[in-house]
């Protein structure tokens, strides 16, 4: 495996290529620590930075949260948005705002 430096890891091109295949990169399941930390919390607003394919954002939205999901890869944002719109009820999908942006310079 090639070593990656910080500039590569922040480059949209790297992530766009990584997410360009048909197969998912991640499991699509919620991060277990997120689930544990939020399971007793009342739904509110969440910011999912580096949302990837949206597993955490979808899980939160299904539980009533309003989620802003941000990733540097516009390819993965398009995939995550399409998946949410096709697989979730309209009221759940509408609770997620998908944004392609570099969070180092992004203005919410």
Q: Render each residue's pLDDT in the chain as its tens digit; 108 residues.
A: 456 677 777 788 888 788 887 877 766 789 999 999 999 999 999 999 999 999 999 999 999 999 999 999 999 999 999 999 999 999 999 999 999 999 889 988
What pLDDT does 94 receive? 97
For residue 96, the SS3 value is strand
User: How many other CB atoms sit within 10 Å of the CB of residue 16?
Assistant: 15
Query: What pLDDT was estimated at residue 69?
Result: 98
pTM for the whole structure? 0.84
Which pLDDT value is given to residue 26?
Answer: 65
Residue 27 is predicted with a pLDDT of: 65
Residue ranges of the alpha helices (H) in the chain? 6-9, 12-19, 32-38, 55-62, 74-87, 90-93
pLDDT of residue 47: 97
Dihedral pair phi/psi, residue 69, rounded to 5°: -110, 120
């Amino acid at each position: 495996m090639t070593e990656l430096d910080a500039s590569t890891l922040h480059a949209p091109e790297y992530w766009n290529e990584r997410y360009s295949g048909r197969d998912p990169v991640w499991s699509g399941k919620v991060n277990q620590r997120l689930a544990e930390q939020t399971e007793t919390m009342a739904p509110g607003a969440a910011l999912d930075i580096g949302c990837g394919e949206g597993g955490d954002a979808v899980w939160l939205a299904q539980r009533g949260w309003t989620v802003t999901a941000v990733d540097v890869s516009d390819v993965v944002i398009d995939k995550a948005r399409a998946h949410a719109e096709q697989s979730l009820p309209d009221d759940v999908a509408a609770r997620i705002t998908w944004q392609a942006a570099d969070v180092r310079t992004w203005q919410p």
